[in-house]
Amino acid sequence: MGVVIDQVTMQVVRYALEQIADEMGYTLVRTSRSTIIKEVMDITCAIFDAQGHTIAQAHHAPMLLTGFEITMVELIKRFPPGTLQEGDVVISNDPYLGGQHIMDIQTMAPVFFGGNLVGYVGAIAHQSDMGGAAPGGVAGGLTEIYQQGFTNLNIPEEYGGSGIDPLTALIITEEIARGCSAVATSSSCNSLATYPILIGGNEEQKQRFLRPIAEEGLYASFCLTEPGAGSDVASLSTIARKDGNKYIINGRKQFITSANVASFLTVFCQSGTAKGHSTISTLVFESNTPGVTIGRKERKMGLRASTTCEVIFEDVEVLVENLISGEGAGFKLAMETLNKARPTTGAMALGIAQAALEASVNYAKERIQFGKPIVQQQAVQMILADMAMKVETARLLVYKAGYLMAKGLPYTKESAMSKCYAADIAMEVSTDAVQIFKRVWLYKRLPGRKVYA
Ligand SMILES: Cc1cc2nc3c(=O)[nH]c(=O)nc-3n(C[C@H](O)[C@H](O)[C@H](O)COP(=O)(O)OP(=O)(O)OC[C@H]3O[C@@H](n4cnc5c(N)ncnc54)[C@H](O)[C@@H]3O)c2cc1C
What pLDDT, on the 0 to 100 scale, is given for residue 281? 97
Q: Which of 180, 183, 192, 255 to mutate to test the pocket of ligand 1 (most atoms within 8 A of CB)?
A: 255
The C-alpha atoms of residue 312 and residue 307 are separated, in whole angstroms, by 16
- What average pLDDT does the chain have? 89
What pLDDT, on the 0 to 100 scale, is given for residue 424? 98
Second-level CATH architecture of 214-332: Beta Barrel (2.40)
Q: Where in the chain is the domain with CATH 1.20.140.10?
A: 339-452
The predicted model gives 75-101 an average pLDDT of 83
The C-alpha atoms of residue 32 and residue 30 are separated, in whole angstroms, by 6
What pLDDT, on the 0 to 100 scale, is given for residue 136? 45
Shortest-distance Cα residue to atom 49 of ligand 1: 231
Of 133-137, 218-222, 266-270, 393-397, give the lowest mean pLDDT range: 133-137
**Contact 214/278 with Cβ under 8 angstroms?**
no
**Contact 46/71 with Cβ under 8 angstroms?**
no
Q: Quick check: CB of 26 below 6 Å from ligand 1?
A: no
Question: What's the CA-to-centroid distance between 229 and ligand 1, angstroms?
Answer: 8
Closest CA to 176 of 79, 305, 88: 305
In ligand 1, the atom with minimum distance to the C-alpha of 233 is 21
The predicted model gives 99-108 an average pLDDT of 71
Q: Quick check: CB of 224 below 6 Å from ligand 1?
A: yes
Q: Quick check: CB of 75 below 6 Å from ligand 1?
A: no
pLDDT tens string 263-272: 999 999 999 8
Under CATH, what is the fold of the domain 7-129? Answer: Beta-Lactamase (3.30.450)
pLDDT tens string 344-367: 999 999 999 999 999 999 999 999
**Contact 257/186 with Cβ under 8 angstroms?**
yes
Q: Where in the chain is the domain with CATH 3.30.450?
A: 7-129
The C-alpha atoms of residue 209 and residue 201 are separated, in whole angstroms, by 10
What separation in angstroms does the CA of 378 have from each of 313, 383, 414, 441? 58, 9, 35, 21
Q: Is the pLDDT of residue 217 over 90?
A: no
**Is pLDDT larger for residue 37 or for residue 160?**
160
Backbone angles phi, psi at 56, to 5 degrees: -160, 145
Q: H or E segment at 344?
A: helix 330-366
Of 66-70, 196-200, 309-313, 448-452, give the lowest mean pLDDT range: 448-452
Q: Where in the chain is the domain with CATH 2.40.110.10?
A: 214-332
Question: What's the CA-to-centroid distance between 223 and ligand 1, angstroms?
Answer: 13
Q: Is the pLDDT of residue 92 over 70?
A: yes
The predicted model gives 163-175 an average pLDDT of 93
**Is pLDDT larger for residue 28 or for residue 428?**
428
> In sequence order, what are the residues at sequence separation of 6 or more whose Cβ sits closer than 8 angstroms to the Cβ of residue 443?
449
What pLDDT, on the 0 to 100 scale, is given for residue 134? 52
Q: 65: pLDDT confidence band, cut at 50, 70 and 90?
A: low
Of 111-125, 141-155, 225-239, 322-336, give the lowest mean pLDDT range: 141-155
The predicted model gives 144-166 an average pLDDT of 85
Using DSSP's 3-state secondary structure scheme, residue 410 falls into coil
The predicted model gives 198-222 an average pLDDT of 94
ipTM of the complex: 0.97
**Is pLDDT larger for residue 440 or for residue 16?**
16
> In sequence order, what are the residues at sequence separation of 6 or more whose Cβ sits closer than 8 angstroms to the Cβ of residue 41?
25, 29, 60, 61
The C-alpha atoms of residue 356 and residue 263 are separated, in whole angstroms, by 34
Pick the CATH number of 339-452 from 1.20.140.10, 1.10.1040.50, 3.30.750.200, 3.40.50.1820: 1.20.140.10
**Is pLDDT larger for residue 157 or for residue 329?**
329
Q: Is the pLDDT of residue 403 over 90?
A: yes
Q: Is the pLDDT of residue 142 over 70?
A: no
The predicted model gives 113-130 an average pLDDT of 83
Q: 126: pLDDT confidence band, cut at 50, 70 and 90?
A: confident
Question: What's the CA-to-centroid distance between 129 and ligand 1, angstroms?
Answer: 41
What pLDDT, on the 0 to 100 scale, is given for residue 137? 47
pLDDT tens string 8-46: 999 999 999 999 999 999 998 888 766 667 777 778 899
